Structures are given as structure tokens and as C-alpha cells.
Amino acid sequence: MGNSTYSYQHYLLRSISTQFQLPDTPTIAQQPGIQSVFRVTCHYPGGDFPDSVATVVSSQVGQPTLTVHRNGSESNGENMLDRQAFEALTATLSTVKFDKLADQPDIPSTRANLWLIERAAGSFIKGVLLSPELATDDYQSLVFRLHELLPAAVEPLRQ
């Protein structure tokens, strides 16, 4: 995943997609006709907001799709994602040099909101762990653009 070690935070976030019985990003990316996969897994400790997994899939035909799963509710289904939003997302990943970005340093071990952002294409996969409220520099730019481009993916909903 681009990280030499995984913290318990990585395992926690990966367990969320397992709870929803979702395939991992490499499995999706290696399916015929899939160009790329982008996933944001969000964990909000304390129980005020449900954990969520949002997956954007771009295929060789048709528009990209966005599917969001949240604890305590059904999936909102698969929705078409505006091509311009998808291209802006791709440009943002390039601007912040996502493929070379390490996990955000100094994330508290408890009580921090956590996001695991993953990108996969073919056999390539990259993941970055961050805390949106504590993000600075490129991490903050990424958080801001995700709120702007994919609000359904990252904005918490009250339970």
C-alpha cells in the first residue's frame, strides 16, 4: 500500500470495508474494463457519525460511478459521477503527488477522525492515511478538494 508498516489504524479502516463485504481496491481494479478505482474509507470515533466507504470506479465505457456505504444504513446505490468532477479528482491527486505521499505524520492513536484514501489501477495500488481535522499542506489540499468534489463520500451524516 506504499507503506512499509501498517498501524492498527490501517487495520481498523480496512475492517470497515470488510464489514460491508466489499472487494478490496486491487480486486476491483483488476476486473476487465476497469481503468481506475478511488476509495475513501472514513472512521468517526464516538458514534456521532457512521463509518463509511465510498468507491469511485472508472471503466473504459460509460461514466465513472460512485457508491457509498455507511454503517447503519443501506448503500445509496451506484450513482453516475460527473466526468468533470472525476477529472478534477484525478488532477487533484496529481497536484498533491498522491502516488508519492506518505501517511500523514503525527496522527493521534485515539479519538481522531481517520480517512484511508486509496487509488488503484491495474496492479498499482496506493493508500494514504490521514486525519482530516489535523491535515496540513498537501493533506489539507486533498481534504478540501474531496469535500468539494465528492461531498457524499466524505461528509459525515448524523445518526
Q: What is the pLDDT of residues 1-30, one digit of tens each?
A: 444 456 888 888 999 999 989 999 999 999
Predicted confidence at residue 3, as pLDDT, reads: 43
User: CA–CA distance from 36 to each of 49, 116, 125, 151, 155 (Å)?
Assistant: 29, 17, 10, 20, 23
Calculate mean pLDDT across residues 56-67: 92
Predicted confidence at residue 1, as pLDDT, reads: 42
Beta strands in 15-123 (DSSP E): 34-43, 52-59, 65-70, 78-80, 114-121
Predicted confidence at residue 157, as pLDDT, reads: 67
Taking the C-alpha atoms of residue 87 and residue 110, their distance in angstroms, rounded to an integer, is 35
More confident of the two residues 89 and 62 = 89
More confident of the two residues 151 and 156 = 151
For residue 75, is pLDDT > 80? no
The pTM assigned to this predicted structure is 0.90
Do 47 and 159 meet the contact criterion of CB atoms below 8 Å apart? yes
| 98-140 residue pLDDT tens | 999 999 998 987 888 999 999 999 889 999 999 999 999 999 9
Calculate mean pLDDT across residues 80-101: 92
Predicted confidence at residue 77, as pLDDT, reads: 66
Predicted confidence at residue 74, as pLDDT, reads: 59
